[in-house]
Amino acid sequence: MTTIAKPSDGTIEAVPHEVIRFTIQIDDTYDNFRKRYEEAVPVFQSDRFADLVKEGADWRTVLEATAENAPHDFIIYWSGDFTPLMRLAGDRGRCVEYLMGNHTIAQTMYRYNPAVMLYAPLRTAIFEDADGVTWFTVDQPSTAFGSFNTPQITKGGLTLDHALAALLDHMGVSVPSALQNS
């Protein structure tokens, strides 16, 4: 069977949308908070999930493995500490960025529009300002996913809002009311 691709008609969709970014002051040192964050949000077990893909595991098995990997609903898929590189320019602040998410939550949105992966996983950062104050920053998930104007995707964004609120609460961090009331 031969599939013939339909020629593109050059359609471009432009979707303006507002995203709310939360930047929360942390009552802890940069190093301590980073350690606590990385304990609460473990690294993605890539070998384990690669084996599940290779085996053709059923989705129930993936859900169970994810729950074990993500005790607080989130996994770190990637992190980058930009401090050493920025120090070469004389900058003294510290910052580590993360891609944090949960592929099983993303899947509930992906089926409606695979482009949701633009916002999944979530980008987060822990940084220390010039005064030595530690901050955590993240965009509110529902404000990003709501831009797809699909109720099921919006619902997934709200699920992420609530999971993020629970994570912050677990870590003893001030939880923005918009995450709790969404």
pTM: 0.92
Does domain 21-176 sit in CATH 3.30.310.70?
A: yes
Backbone phi and psi for residue 128, each to the nearest 5 degrees, phi listed first = -120, 125
Cα dihedral sign, 36-164-16-135:
negative
Q: 150 pLDDT exceeds 80?
A: yes
Mean pLDDT of the 151-173 span: 97
The answer to whether residue 182 scores a pLDDT higher than 90 is no
The pLDDT value given to residue 121:
98
Check whether 5 has a pLDDT greater than 80. Answer: no
Q: What pLDDT, on the 0 to 100 scale, is given for residue 133?
A: 97
Q: Pick the closest to residue 139 from 43, 24, 3 (CA basis).
A: 24
Task: Kindly tell me if the per-residue pLDDT of 2 is higher than 70.
Answer: no
As a whole number, mean pLDDT of residues 69-82 equals: 97
pLDDT at 41 over 80: yes
3-class SS of residue 79: strand
pLDDT top residue among 8 and 80: 80
Q: How far apart (Å, rounded) are the C-alpha atoms in residues 142 and 109? A: 12
